[in-house]
Amino acid sequence: MKMAWSIADMPPQTGRVALVTGATSGLGLETARALAGAGARVILAARTEAKAAQAAADITRSVPNAALSFERLDLASLASVREAAARISGQYASLDLLVNNAGVMAIPHRTLTEDGFETQFASNFLGHFALTRHLLAMLCAAPAARVVTLGSLAARAGVIAFDDPQLARGYTPWRAYSQSKLACVIFAIGRRQQAGAWSAPRRIPAGR
């Protein structure tokens, strides 16, 4: 009995639109490459166009007919997330696959985003949560949409500090990272359990 799965087992993705965050390196780059190779139109979401262009060139060398586009996205900024989602919604009627992959790891010193959130929690979890919420109507419009949120083994050591989620007290790089990845896992499991009951969301107020 075959147990292992490989890219060769991926079904055709022709006609599907996929958005991959952090698509310029690592798992994000290889995920984008695999989806493009299977025929999907892939949106490379990244903070800088230059890095996305390098990733696109890399993918095109192995997938000459790849259908790729760039979307500027900074997950540490809720305004950037909102603006990116609005642009994507204006270009496509639906979204078949959202891969929440991007993240930062073990920042040595506690820093806050422009919105006042601890950077790892904001970039790894809150940004992806907001992005998924903003794109939910597009996902619901697709016949068989999927949301993939990457976790980490570090989540096993994670504890959600509900009384201090921004870790103003007792910040350490790995404590912050583990908390953020545990939040991602909880989000992924929660969305999977509710997948059968998804419905088009109400419009999110512009200030949130």
pLDDT at residue 87 is higher than 70: yes
Give residue-wise pLDDT tens across range 191-206.
Answer: 554 444 444 444 434 4
Residue 204 lies in a domain: no
Residue 2 lies in a domain: no
Residue 203 lies in a domain: no
- Number of domains, the chain: 1
pLDDT at residue 43 is higher than 70: yes
Segment 26-30 shows an average pLDDT of 96
Residue 20 lies in a domain: yes
Confidence of residue 54 (pLDDT cuts 50, 70, 90): very high
Residue 6 lies in a domain: no
Residue 134 lies in a domain: yes
**Domain range holding 85?**
13-197
Q: Which of 117, 125, 177, 187 is catalytic?
A: 177
Segment 135-163 shows an average pLDDT of 93
pLDDT at residue 184 is higher than 50: yes
Percent of the chain with pLDDT over 70: 90
Render the burial of 63-92: b for 16+ CB within 10 Å, e for the rest. Answer: beebebbbbebbbbbbebbbbbbeebeeeb
User: Quick one: pLDDT at residue 5?
Assistant: 81
User: Quick one: pLDDT at residue 207?
Assistant: 39
Residue ranges of E strands in the chain: 17-21, 41-46, 67-72, 97-100, 146-149
CATH number of the domain bearing residue 88: 3.40.50.720
pLDDT at residue 25 is higher than 50: yes
Average pLDDT, the chain: 90
Confidence of residue 4 (pLDDT cuts 50, 70, 90): confident
The CA distances from residue 53 to 20, 70, 102, in Å, are: 14, 8, 17
User: Quick one: pLDDT at residue 205?
Assistant: 40
Distance CA 205, CA 208 (A): 6
Residue 207 lies in a domain: no
Name which of 61-70, 91-100, 199-208 the model is least confident about: 199-208
Q: Does 177 participate in catalysis according to the annotation?
A: yes
Count of residues in the chain: 208
pLDDT at residue 99 is higher than 90: yes
Confidence of residue 80 (pLDDT cuts 50, 70, 90): very high
pLDDT at residue 17 is higher than 60: yes
